Amino acid sequence: MTSNSPWEQRIALLARHLSGGNLHRDQNQAQGLQAAPTAGQARGSAAAPAATGGGVAVSAEVAAALAAGRPVVALESTIISHGMPYPQNLETAKQVEGVVRAHGAVPATIAVLGGVPHVGLTPSQLERLAGAGTSVRKVSRRDLPLVCALGLDGATTVSATMLLAARAGIAVFVTGGIGGVHRGGEASMDISADLTELGRTPVAVICAGAKSVLDIPRTLEFLETQGVCVAAYGADEFPAFFTRHSGCRAPARVDTPQQAAAMIAASQRLQLGGGMVLGVPIPEQHAAAGAAVEAAISQALQEAEQQGVKGNEVTPFLLQRIRELTGGKSLESNIALVKHNAAVGAQVSAALAARQGQAAL
């Protein structure tokens, strides 16, 4: 007889673990998570589905790292499909994963492929997303049911990546910059789902702050309302993506990966249930001239309004126009900041894994 009692299910999981089973794997299967097929398994079947029934496919490498308590860093896929043009997007994706590995963590790029959420992508899957570019649908939390039901490919935004990372048991996520309250948002109510996700999903987001095309003061106010811990890394001022300076003082400051990891651990210990934002300023040598970028932002915002660009098309439009208006310097800055964030995020993840390992002794 199969028991449906949650407590009995937990006891059964623990019993299997004590008798030699894999507790992490069993928990994932109970939640609809499956390990993606290995390369050998994939070669043995043309279809080789990684997960069915709306489950999440976790790559063998990522699953093994999580089960062993090794550091893992989640990476989003919208930056691949919509953040920059091909082939820079593919090259950057590979380089960012390489940076994560170089600093001792396992990268877990997240996307939806054929209607199945994947945590950890193969090189061919990265190529698939990068080559398709903006034809791949951007997927936020709200879009997951539709994209999965229709069997589509989807590039996950910050909110969807956070959600899927948390489902897989990943606590640290690196991206370029978070969404926020759009300029004029007090009238339009155009507020990114990233902010509400941060209020309810326990994942730390390592980023270069909020994108400078946004209303950063209102973004910080909204995060405060959501109860999200926000800190700047090695700075007193909250960064603004292309530039180190937003004009807004950060609510908190941390100076080392160990301090950031301690904050994450404290949030987990207190079971706060929400995420946090660690704003990492772009390296000084790569920062685009603030005045030039701000001028480009102002012009791009005017053009977006004149052309009636709305919703989730606004940010890609603005970033593309800013790249054009700055002669590509903003793209160089974008790539540099993502790599820098990846290095910091991997160090934070490693410090968190070390803390958790010590606590388990």
Of 263, 269, 237, nearest to 250 by C-alpha is 237
Question: Choosing from 76, 138, 197, 329, which is the catalytic residue?
Answer: 76
Determine the CATH number of domain 46-360: 3.40.1790.10
Cβ atoms of residues 344 and 206 within 8 Å = yes
Higher pLDDT, 130 or 326: 130
Say which range, 165-174, 257-266, 304-313, 340-349, has the weakest mean pLDDT: 304-313
CA distances from residue 15 to 2, 18, 29, 35 in whole angstroms, order as listed: 15, 5, 16, 21
pLDDT over threshold 90, residue 139: yes
* Amino acid found at 52: T
Q: Would you place residue 333 in the very low, low, confident or very high pLDDT band (cuts 50, 70, 90)? A: confident
pLDDT number for residue 285 = 83
> Sign of dihedral through CA atoms 11, 15, 16, 18?
positive
Side-chain half-sphere exposure of 257, counting CA atoms within 13 A: 19
Percent of the chain exceeding pLDDT 90 equals 64
d(CA 74, CA 108): 5
Q: Would you place residue 289 in the very low, low, confident or very high pLDDT band (cuts 50, 70, 90)? A: low
Is 332 tagged catalytic? no
Higher pLDDT, 268 or 38: 268
What's the predicted TM-score (pTM) here? 0.82
Q: What is the dihedral of CA 353, 139, 200, 212, to 10 degrees?
A: 90
Domain extents in the chain: 46-360
pLDDT number for residue 229 = 98
Is 310 tagged catalytic? no
Nearest 5 degrees, angle CA 76-CA 288-CA 223?
A: 50
Question: Choosing from 97, 138, 197, 211, which is the catalytic residue?
Answer: 211
| pLDDT tens column, 42-67 | 333 333 334 333 489 999 999 999 99
pLDDT over threshold 80, residue 315: no
Mean per-residue pLDDT, 124-131: 97
User: 151 — alpha (psi -120 to 50), left (phi > 0) or beta?
Assistant: left
| pLDDT tens column, 8-45 | 554 444 444 334 444 444 444 444 555 554 433 333 33
